[in-house]
Amino acid sequence: MSEILYIDTGEYKEREAVFNEADAGKRLDAALAEQFPDLSRNRIQILIEGNCVKPPGLTKNTKVKAGEKVVLLVNEREKLTAAPEDIPIKVVYEDEDVIVVDKERGMVVHPAKGNTTGTLVNALLWHKEQDNGDGLRPGIVHRIDKNTSGLLVVTKNDEAHAALAAQFADHSITRRYMAIVIGGFSEDVGMIDAPLGRDPKNRLRQAMRHDGKRAVTHWRVIERLKGYTFMELTLETGRTHQIRAHMAMIGHPVLGDDLYGAARGPAANEGQYLHAIELGFDHPKTGERLRFESPLPRYFTEMLDKLH
């Protein structure tokens, strides 16, 4: 049976509300629902409880004042339909609020044009049925690309979804990757701070744009190989294709990345050598800091052996 899912687009928009005399004394959730009629009161309550409101510390029961300004951070969503499919997945952690998956290379995260089946969401819906319907309604708060392997977290309810979306928005999530890139580095560590936006010459790519979104990647050399570098990259922000675009921008594209010009040599037509090795976040209900690691997959270690 197909289900309707709401998937984050990865876009977060600030909506500003300024209250007048007629609003004074109303509960915050009610006042915001009047300001933003396209958002349900329930969704506004979930966003407030998920700390997606400024100034911080406000609750749904806060009484608003005339002249007061409140900003609501809204994670933009799109509606998708997906059906359960019997696809094996590696579950690293699961409770009633979140599920952490170690995604294989080659799997798309959620249904979209051109990929309506065989996705991680289809697999998670099947996982739900096998666990006697534990209430899982997959909420995708972040993605990793089809040919990137490794860890990602999926939420099971709206409250967890809002809380994790807020953590991604304020960049408190830990996301560390391992990559093999083309070329060598004279330095051992570095940082790339360059805003990214859609490439006007190729809408599938991201490129540095002065009007783009702030994007910061920290890198560290793990091992220098002949013509290549094995490295660790940590995201301070989490933009689409951030590591792939940043590394290509500085002349060291990720090995095997056909979109950014590195599908050549020993990795032609294989996909990029990029693995999400660490994921850390605060549990949306308990606040406990959770941290997970994924070992380098076989395809990655075999390429390292070949380059050695």
Q: What is the pLDDT of residues 296-306, one digit of tens each?
A: 999 999 999 99
pLDDT at 125: 84
Structure tokens at 166: 């807020």
Q: Of 37, 35, 13, 16, give the one whose Cα is nearest residue 26.
A: 35
Residues in CB range of 19: below 8 A, 6 or more apart: 26, 31, 64, 65, 66, 67, 68, 69, 70
Count other Cβ atoms within 10 Å, centred on residue 75: 24
CB burial of residue 228 (10 Å; 0-12, 13-18, 19+): buried
Return d(Cα 122, Cα 54) in angstroms, integer: 36
Beta strands in the chain (DSSP E): 3-18, 53-54, 69-82, 90-94, 98-103, 139-140, 149-155, 174-182, 189-193, 196-199, 202-208, 216-225, 228-235, 274-282, 289-293
pLDDT at 175: 97
- Catalytic residue flag (residue 145): yes
pLDDT at 204: 86
DSSP summary character for residue 167? H
| 274-282/149-155 β-pairing | parallel
Return d(Cα 228, Cα 308) in angstroms, integer: 10
Active-site residue identified among 8, 23, 29, 145? 145
Residue ranges, the chain, pLDDT below 70: 1-12, 76-81, 112-116, 129-138, 262-269
pLDDT at 173: 95
The topology (CATH level 3) of 13-77 is 3.10.290
Domain ranges of the chain: 13-77, 171-308
pLDDT at 134: 44
Name the helix (H) or strand (E) containing 272: none
pLDDT at 269: 60
pLDDT at 14: 84
- Longest Cα–Cα distance in the chain: 71
Q: Of 267, 227, 228, 259, give the one whose Cα is nearest residue 243.
A: 259
The topology (CATH level 3) of 171-308 is Pseudouridine synthase (3.30.2350)
